[in-house]
Amino acid sequence: MKRLTDNVNSRYMQAADRLLPGNRRGRIVAYVESYDDVSFWRLLLDEFESPEYHFQIMLPTKGGLTKGKKPALNSVFGADALGSHMIACVDSDYDWLMDDITPTSRLVNGSPYVIQTYTYAIENYQCWAKSLYQICVQCTLNDRRPIDIEAFMTEYSRAVWPVFVWSVWFYRSRRHSEYSMQELNIDTRLGNVDLRRPSAMIRSLADRVGRRVESLSQKYQFAVEQVEDLKKELVFRGVTDSNCYLFMQGHHLVENVVLKLLDPICQSLRQERENEIRKLAVHQQQYQNEISAYRHSQMDILEALRKNTHYRDCPMYGRMSQDIRNLLVMLPERGGEKQQDGKDLESSDQHEQG
């Protein structure tokens, strides 16, 4: 026997919305992949709440504690339940780059009721190069720049760009088992970054990537021209050699790139600040008090990244904002009789009775 909740979909939410008093705001349910994503999407959706409508972020809990894109897209009740009053907010992964060759990529890219990150994942926004210096300041309370972090990330991105494009080609060609995401992560991870010679790390990385690209070009000679065409297409989409790190696997970017870079920077800045406290302390007790207060005020780098919100000038963030604006245009006026999702309320009722 079906439960009443089995019939819940966007049209149901719209019908329930019409029963509210005129002075009550309508509700748009936004399903996200996991509780880790709630704060990110809340920050974005807050910008678009109005006296007419508000967003309620929910988790796809019908199947228990299952997380991920598929439960969010199914929105608990099935993908056809999505509509102007019930949307899904998900990581793009590679789907935005897949040219609609899979059912998931067609849904993510084609449905106005799916808001995607465009970057690989939320973590990529948190690693937005222009925001990383602010992370170092928060973690060390020291406003000095040992290296140009934004320039380093740009050079990192340019170094990995050739093999990144090959990776997208493998996934588009359904050959991802022949060059997997794990292999890409190994090829593009950073070693220990020497702050005195950061360019040496980039050169070492570029050499490693170059050897991999040469190997792939020899093994898949028929694909070399296709990969060159793909580069042009990606650039047209806004994915370039200077920002492709935004479209690599998010967890890999955090753990094997950004933390590898920020750890030595923050260690250097903390040591510098502690040496300054030691030098300026009048006596041992004052030193102990000041050093204890300083260490207590520091923030863990990974925690600071997770709380980072200094990425809203990222162009991909602007694309998400525009998608939400487009969604809001489709909403009916509160109390109006505008048709929604291709069916009016009467046809929705008939559908549920059937």
> What does DSSP assign to residue 340?
B
- How many residues can be counted in the chain? 354
Q: Is residue 328 within a helix (H) or strand (E), and if so which, with residue range?
A: helix 315-329
| Kind of pairing between the strands at 114-116 and 86-90 | parallel
Could you give the C-alpha distances from 10 to 85, 126, 278, 322, 350, in angstroms and in order?
Answer: 5, 31, 62, 21, 15
So what's the pLDDT on residue 349?
38
Residue-wise DSSP of 215-228: HHHHHTGGGHHHHH
pLDDT digits (tens, 9 = 90+) for 103-136: 899 999 999 999 999 999 999 999 999 999 999 9
22 or 55: which leads in pLDDT: 55
Q: Indicate the Cα dihedral angle 349, 352, 353, 354, nearest 10°.
A: 120
Average pLDDT over residues 144-164: 97
Query: What's the whole-model pTM score?
Result: 0.86
So what's the pLDDT on residue 26?
84
Average pLDDT over residues 159-186: 97
pLDDT digits (tens, 9 = 90+) for 4-51: 344 555 554 554 565 555 566 788 999 999 999 999 999 999 999 998
- Per cent of the chain over pLDDT 70 is 82
